[in-house]
Amino acid sequence: MPVHYENDCNAGALWESYRGCPEGTEIMAFLAPGTGLGGGIVIHGHLLRGVHGMAAELGHVFIVHSSFVPGVEPLCGCGRKYCAEAYVSMAALMKILPAALELPKWKDHPLHAITGDEMWRKRAFQVRGMAARGDELCLSIFEWQARALGKLCFQVANVIDPARIVIGGGFIEGGLVLTDRVMGIIRHTFKELAFKKHAEELVIETASAGDQAGCLGAALSAWQFAQVW
């Protein structure tokens, strides 16, 4: 039987666009911070896939963002500095935490108690939950990442002029209080940078399907392709 597959963040973008504008008349972008920082762009109901299927790799857009720990500039997984993904992703957390926990201020932080195999991965996975509970270090990391996302939204707005930018992925799975806080920072950072028209009219919102947007979008994409077989 025919098989159809889709990039996970493209699938998420397709679903969120369909839910938000089922008539297919909008231009929108989807950003999904998780293990990395994925993206997707939908134009009038159609995914922007590009000539090589590599369009909307928005995590590799360069942004100007200060280091969380002065003097420590994390590398993106692609090997370059300044990609948005180098600041906003689980991979970024694993690179930021060693330098942060070496600071005298955090010498007694509870994350030091996590040791053993894959120590930094295990520590990174605790950051979101601890931020949601108000831990000072973890919350400050999330806020720093939110400012980076706001800067990325500014870049995206200038390139494609969308009606909406939707934030999905694990970044918004920390509960209502944390999500409201980081979304507020994203919007504030964006509006400080954006042109007046974008600042007043462009909507930045959370994914309606949360972290399930990619699963639902993959099914929707397969259904769409099935109509032409």
What pLDDT score does 3 carry? Answer: 84
Q: How much is the pLDDT for 228?
A: 64
Average pLDDT, the chain: 93
Task: Region of 128 please: left (phi>0), alpha (psi -120 to 50) or beta.
Answer: alpha
pLDDT of 194 strictly over 80: yes
> For residue 26, is pLDDT > 90?
yes
Higher per-residue confidence, 54 vs 191: 191
**Residue 222 lies in domain:** 8-226
pLDDT above 70: residue 226: yes
pLDDT, one tens digit per residue, over 165-185 is 999 988 888 899 999 999 999
Whether 113 is covered by a domain: the verdict is yes
Instruction: Assess if residue 13 is contained within a domain.
Output: yes
Asked if the structure places residue 1 within a domain, the reply is no
Give the mean model confidence (pLDDT) for residues 178-195. Answer: 97
Please give the tally of structural domains in the chain: 1
User: What would the pLDDT profile of 35-84 be if each residue is shown by its tens digit?
Assistant: 899 999 999 999 999 999 899 999 999 999 999 999 888 899 999 999 99
pLDDT over 70 (residue 25): yes
Domain membership of residue 71 (yes or no) is yes
Alpha carbons within 13 A on the beta-carbon side of 107: 3
CATH number where 137 lies: 3.30.420.40
Distance CA 193, CA 153 (A): 10
C-alpha 28/C-alpha 44 separation (Å) is: 9
CB-based contact 41:28 (threshold 8 Å):
yes
205 within a domain of the structure (yes/no): yes
* 3 occurs within a structural domain: no
Q: How deeply is 5 buried, as exposed, middle or buried, from its count of CB atoms within 10 A (0-12, 13-18, 19+)? A: exposed
Q: What is the pLDDT of residues 105-130, one digit of tens each?
A: 999 999 999 999 999 999 999 999 99
pLDDT of residue 191: 98
pLDDT of residue 200 exceeding 70, the answer is: yes
Q: Which residue has the higher pLDDT, 2 or 14?
A: 14
Burial class (CB in 10 A: 0-12, 13-18, 19+), 171: buried
Answer whether residue 211 shows pLDDT above 80.
Answer: no
State how far the Cα of 19 lies from the Cα of 12, in Å rounded to an integer.
11
Helix (H) / strand (E) element for 40: namely strand 37-43
pTM: 0.93
User: Is there a domain that residue 2 lies in?
Assistant: no
pLDDT band at residue 229 under the 50/70/90 scheme: low
Q: Is position 216 within any domain?
A: yes
